[in-house]
Structure 1
Amino acid sequence: MIRVVVVEDSPTMRAILKTRLEREGDITVVGAAANAAEGRQMIRELDPDVITLDVEMPGMNGLDFLEKIMQLRPTPVIIVSGSTQKGTDTTARALALGAVDCYAKNESSGGLPMEDMGRLAGLIREAAKVQFPTRAPSTQRVATEARSSLSERPRLIAIGSSTGGVEALQVLLGGFPVDCPPTLVVQHISPRFAGAVAKTLDQHCPPRILLAEPDLPLKAGHVYIAPGDDRHLTVGGSMSYHARLRRGEPVSGHLPSVDMLFHSVAETVGAHAVGILLTGMGADGAQGLLAMAQRGAHTICQDEATCTVFGMPRAAISLGAAGVVAPIDHIARHAFSKAA
C-alpha cells in the first residue's frame, strides 16, 4: 500500500484527491493538510511514501515548502498545478527544486479533470519507486572513465533525461559555458509544462535555452528542448545542423524519445558529438547512447548516487555505452574537458 499525504488548501480538492486515489486499491491517503504548517506536521508524524503538493497556497507557498522538504526530509513530491501561466511557471520551478512530476488541473475550470484514466494514480506509483540516497560531497565522488574519444570541441551535444531530470538539467546546464556547442535535450515532460521549464532553465543557466522548433538552425550558445508533444526531436544537416520535429509512434515507450534523438545524432554528427544520459526510469536512451559510442562520440552517464532514478543510466552502462560515469555536478566538466 502506497501511503500519501495530500497538501492542498481547497477542502473540495482534498476530498476529490482522496477519493480518486483511494479507489485504486493500492493507494491510501494517510493525511490531508490545508497548508504547509499542517503538511509539515503530518509528514513528520506519518512518514508518507509520496506527497501531493499544491504550489499556490496561503502562508508559506508551495515552492518554499518543497525546498524545505527536499533539504530536511527528502520525499517524492507530485505537484498538483494550476492551469494558468503563473501555475505552469511555478510548477517548472518546483521541478527544478526536486519535485518528481506534475499533475495539471483542468485548463478551463482550474479543478481536477473529471476522469483522468488513472494518470494521477500512475504518477503516484512511479513516484513511490523514487529513492533519495544520502549523497556524499562531490569531492568524495570520482568519475569512472572507461574510454574517452573526444579530442576537439564538440560540434553538438545531445542530452536525455526523465524523472528528476529538470533538477539535474539545471545543475548540468548551469555548468555550460555561454558559448556552448548547439545542444538538444529530450526531457520526458508534459507539453503543458515544457515551455515553462525552458524559461526556468534559461533564467538560471548561462546558455540561451528555448523550445525546439521545426527546421530551426542550431546555433552555438543555445540549448533546444523538445516541446514534449507528439513529435520526436532529431537533428538534420551536415556541417551546419537544424532541429527536426516529426510526428510518429512512441519509441522505447516515449514520444519524444531520447533514443530517437541519440540515434539521429550518431548518424548525423558521429564522433564530433557528446551524448549525456541523465536520471530517469526505464531504458530510453540506452540503445541510442550505445549507437553514439559506436560512432566514436563522447558518452557520459549520470552516476547512481546523484540520480533520482538510476534506470536510464543503468541500462546504458550495462550495454557498455558510457565512456564516463560521473556525478551530475561533474558532467559539464567532462563534456568539455577533452575539448582543448
Structure 2
Amino acid sequence: MNAPIIKVLIVDDSAIVRETLREVLESDPHIKVSGVASDPIFALKKIEEERPDVIITDVEMPRMDGITFLKEIMSRPDPIPTVICSSKTEEGSENALKALEFGAIDIIQKPKLGTKQFLEESKIRFCDVVKAAYRARLRKLPLGMTAVPPVQPKLTADVMLPRPDRGHLFIETTEKVVVVGASTGGTEALREFLSMFPQDGPAMVIVQHMPEHFTRAFANRLDGLCKITVKEAEDNDTVLRGRVLIAPGNRHTLLKRAGSRYYVEVKDGPLVCRHRPSVDVLFRSAARYAGKNAIGVIMTGMGDDGARGMKELHDAGAYTIAQDEQSCVVFGMPKEAIKAGGVDVVLPLEKIAGEVLRFTQ
C-alpha cells in the first residue's frame, strides 16, 4: 500500500519564511505543501477550497493573530492539527506556549535563513513534527507509512556517553532521582503531571523536545503553575528535592554525580535519535550515575527517542513507567520503550505522579 502524502498549509506573513518552509518540508516525499497564505484571513479561504491535513502557522500576523486563528480552527467540528512556527523572542515564546493550551500540537522555531546546519537539521525536526501532527489526528499511521531516511545518520547516545564497562559500580545511596522524557503533546502532559507534586516533591530532570529559547519560557510557565519549583537547567545545577530541571532546547542534558551530589551537565553535541536534547542521552546518564535509585518516565511523543535509554535504566535496576496509549497525543515513544522491554508499568497520565510519589517518599 502506498504511503499517504500529507498536505500542509503554511500561514506566515513573510514570503521568505513561507518559501523556506516549503523547501524544507517538500524535501520529504511524504509531505506536500498544498497552499500558503500571508495571513489567517487568506488561510481560512484556502481551507474552504482544499482542506489540508496539517497547518503550520505563525502567532504574530496582520489582520488576525495566530491565537484567534487557532481558536477558529480548533472550534470546528473537524479541527485540523496545527503546529506553531514562532520566533525565539520572549513575546513569541509566550504566545507559542499559549497556543499549546488552545490545542496546537507542537512548536517549531522559525528557520534561521541562510544557516546551512540549521536548515539541514530543520528538515529532520520540521518533517517529524508534521508527521506527528498528522498521526495525532489519525492516532495510527496507515499501513505502508514509513519514515524517510534522515538527512544525517540517526545517532545513538553513544556519541555523548559511551556504554560503561561491565565492571562499572554505583556508589550506594538512598537519594531518588526522577528522569522524564516527552515530545509531541508533552507540554500539556507535563503541566498536568507536575501540578500533582507537593512543594517538596522528588528531584527531577526532564527532556521535552522543544526548540531553543522556548524551554525557558516553558519552565517559567510551569513554575508559576506548580507547587514544586521548575527552572530551565543550567550546567552544573544541583539536582535537589523540591526542584525540577527542564533541559534547554538545542543542548543535551546529562545527569552526573560527585559523591552524594547529583548535578546536570548541559552540553553541545550532534542530534541523537534526531533530537537535541535527547531523552536517550538523559536516560543513559541516569542509568549510569543513579542506577536503581532512578525512576524513569516516558510520555507522549512520536519516534523512539528514550526507548534504548529506558531499557538501560530498567537493566540498571531503575523503576520505569510509560504513559498509556489512551492518554497520549501520540503513542510513539512509550510504545517503542515498551517494545524494547524497558518498561515496568504502563499507566494513564493522571496516575503517573502518584506512582512516582509512592516510589520516592
* Pair in the same fold by TM > 0.5: yes
TM-score bracket, normalised by the shorter chain, equals 0.7 to 0.9
Alignment of 1:294-333 (within 5 A): 294-333=315-354
**Does the 8 Å CA contact 2:300/2:333 hold for their aligned counterparts?**
yes
State the shift of 1:41 in Å: 5.4
- The counterpart of 1:103, out of the listed 75, 93, 109, is 109
One-letter code aligned to 2:207: V
TM-score (norm 2): 0.75
| SS of equivalent residue, structure 2 residue 135 | coil
2:179 is matched with 158
1:214 is matched with 235
Q: Which shows bigger deviation, 38-47 or 259-268?
A: 38-47
Q: Which shows bigger deviation, 244-253 or 207-216?
A: 244-253
Alignment of 1:66-81 (within 5 A): 66-67=70-71, 69-70=73-74, 72=76, 73-81=78-86
Q: Please, what is the CA RMSD of the aligned residues? A: 3.2
- When residues 157 and 339 of structure 1 are mapped into structure 2, their CA distance, relative to the original with a 3 A threshold, is closer
- When residues 98 and 235 of structure 1 are mapped into structure 2, their CA distance, relative to the original with a 3 A threshold, is farther
One-letter code aligned to 1:4: V
2:60 is matched with 56
State the shift of 1:181 in Å: 1.0
One-letter code aligned to 2:84: I
CA–CA separation in structure 2 for the residues paired with 1:255 and 1:306? 25
**Does the 8 Å CA contact 2:26/2:33 hold for their aligned counterparts?**
no
| SS of equivalent residue, structure 1 residue 131 | helix
| SS of equivalent residue, structure 2 residue 96 | helix
- When residues 321 and 238 of structure 1 are mapped into structure 2, their CA distance, relative to the original with a 3 A threshold, is farther
Whether 1:90 and 2:111 are equivalent positions in the alignment is no
CA–CA separation in structure 2 for the residues paired with 1:234 and 1:203? 25
**Does the 8 Å CA contact 2:28/2:127 hold for their aligned counterparts?**
no
| SS of equivalent residue, structure 2 residue 244 | strand
State the shift of 1:207 in Å: 1.8
**Does the 8 Å CA contact 1:298/1:323 hold for their aligned counterparts?**
yes
CA–CA separation in structure 2 for the residues paired with 1:220 and 1:104? 36
CA–CA separation in structure 2 for the residues paired with 1:105 and 1:22? 12
How many residues are matched?
317
1:287 is matched with 308
**Does the 8 Å CA contact 1:154/1:181 hold for their aligned counterparts?**
no
Q: Which shows bigger deviation, 43-52 or 212-221?
A: 43-52
Whether 1:195 and 2:216 are equivalent positions in the alignment is yes
2:122 is matched with 119
One-letter code aligned to 1:179: D
2:69 is matched with 65
CA–CA separation in structure 2 for the residues paired with 1:258 and 1:98? 22
Alignment of 1:112-261 (within 5 A): 116-117=119-120, 119=122, 123-124=126-127, 126-129=129-132, 130-132=134-136, 155-261=176-282
One-letter code aligned to 1:128: K
- When residues 203 and 266 of structure 1 are mapped into structure 2, their CA distance, relative to the original with a 3 A threshold, is same
State the shift of 1:32 in Å: 3.7
**Does the 8 Å CA contact 2:252/2:269 hold for their aligned counterparts?**
yes
TM-score (norm 1): 0.79
Whether 1:16 and 2:19 are equivalent positions in the alignment is yes
Q: Which shows bigger deviation, 34-43 or 177-186?
A: 34-43
**Does the 8 Å CA contact 1:238/1:268 hold for their aligned counterparts?**
no
State the shift of 1:335 in Å: 1.6
State the shift of 1:173 in Å: 1.5
**Does the 8 Å CA contact 1:6/1:14 hold for their aligned counterparts?**
no
